[in-house]
Amino acid sequence: MTADFYGNKLEKIFTLYGNTPLLEIRFALTFKNPEANMIGPQPILKLGDKHWEEDIYYVPAKEGIKELKMRPEAYYGDIFYLKEGWNAGYDTKEDISFVGAFPVSEPLFLHMFMKHPSNTGSHHFYAEFQPWVPVFQKSVRYFSYYIWGAAGPWKNGIKAFEKMGLITKN
């Protein structure tokens, strides 16, 4: 996939690994626009039938694993400085999970938004977890983001990523 990203070239290569729920998204960013200096690649998450209070998200912050839930009354966000390069979500009613992994040394921080219908850009609930990655002018910046989506607890995805050597540590 190739797109114009505010005068810059954004390429994504999607790789599905056979017989697993693993998807790799490899970004190639060619930046020419001097105003662009950061990108926050992320999937927009809706676990199960709907994004609601049964969804719990996990972030390996330097202070320990943070557990986050959607608040129906609030549109909110936060940033996290990471100990490891992943974030996860789990739908406690439908028993399905998501794990995203990326090289922890590359993003400056992980940015989280719990979107709310009051948001003018999108009028529904969902979660975003964006590793904010610096880009370098007049060069190509590569970044890989791995996604694991499967039935069962989120820790199963972490274990699978650890076996594959995809969990990086600070």
Residue 77 is assigned to a structural domain of this protein: yes
Low-confidence stretches of the chain (pLDDT < 70) are 43, 45
Q: Is residue 75 one of the residues assigned to a domain? A: yes
What is the model's pLDDT at position 45? 67
Tokens of 76: 């909110």
Does 169 map to a domain?
no
Whether residue 150 lies inside any domain: the answer is: yes
95: domain range? 2-164
- Residue 85 in any domain: the answer is yes
Q: Is residue 74 part of a domain?
A: yes
- Tell me the torsion sign for CA atoms 54, 73, 113, 63: negative
pLDDT in tens, 76-95: 789 999 999 999 999 999 99
CA distance 56 to 59: 10
Total count of domains within the chain: 1
DSSP-derived letter for residue 43 is P
Closest CA to 88 of 58, 56, 131, 63: 58
Query: In this structure, is residue 98 part of a structural domain?
Result: yes
Return the pLDDT at 59. 97
170 found inside a domain: no
Phi, psi angle pair for 53, to nearest 5°:
-65, -15
> Token match 């390996």: residue?
60
CATH number, position 103:
2.70.98.10
